[in-house]
Chain A
Amino acid sequence: QVQLVESGGGVVQPGRSLRLSCVVSGFTFSSYGMHWVRQAPGKGLEWVAVVWYDGRIKYYADSVKGRFSISRDNSKNTVYLQMSSLRAEDTGVYYCATTGGPSGPMDVWGRGTTVIVSS
């Protein structure tokens, strides 16, 4: 079945960088868009970024634009989130999720990886 496994989270100081990975199995990765969604402790869901099938089209939430970069490697069935200039408010659980189209649902989600930005 479809499985998404995130990794790369950890504790990082403000202003530093971190790269998250999400490895996908069980379906044709190159046919789907991929989202990153985050959740601060005790808070709701916040969309972060999306990358479409071939990796050329990417969109970002205003809160991360210019600091985060999403990319994908279809040969490795992996989507990445490069995070730089990290702030305390970036702390949370980061989930990757599949999508079949721009206005479609986030069909399948990973279990998430935790990022803590703290000095």
Chain B
Amino acid sequence: NFMLTQPHSVSESPGKTVTISCTRSSGSIASHYVQWYQQRPGSAPTTVIYDNDQRPSGVPDRFSGSIDSSSNSASLTISGLKTEDEADYFCQSYDSNNSYVFGTGTKVTVL
């Protein structure tokens, strides 16, 4: 099994850009797709990025995803930050032993 480690929190002003990392502890980040979920306070998670870099319909193009094999990590970037982006964000990937791993979660604060 592997772990996905995220920064505990990030904060930035409206209109700025934040990037959240998701580092895989063992095995290649490229071996299975990485998903990203947004969870606003008191609400269920929703998908903001799927399959590393795909955006579901309805998710603004301010959200983008990528993976970097050199650092064995995935990243979620939110540009043009808005107050409505304030939420917890979780990465997630599939483990070949038929289990699913979530990242530790990152709280995004819009100052």
Contacts and interface: CB of A to CB of B under 8 A. Distances in A.
Interface of A: 35, 37, 44-47, 50, 59, 61-62, 95, 97, 102-107, 109-112
A103 B100 CA distance: 9
A61 to B, nearest CB: 6
A61 B99 contact: yes
B9 to A, nearest CB: 13
A112 B102 contact: no
Given A104-B33, A105-B35, A109-B44, A46 B51 contact: no
Interface residues of B, number: 26
22 contacts: A37-B45, A37-B102, A44-B90, A44-B102, A44-B103, A44-B104, A44-B105, A45-B102, A46-B102, A50-B100, A61-B99, A62-B99, A95-B45, A102-B94, A102-B98, A103-B33, A103-B94, A104-B33, A105-B33, A106-B45, A109-B45, A111-B43
Give the interface SS of chain A, mostly helix, strand, loop or mixed. strand
B100 A109 contact: no
Interface in B49-94: 50-51, 56, 88, 90, 92-94
B50 A109 contact: no
A112 B101 contact: no
B32 interface: yes
A110 B44 CA distance: 7
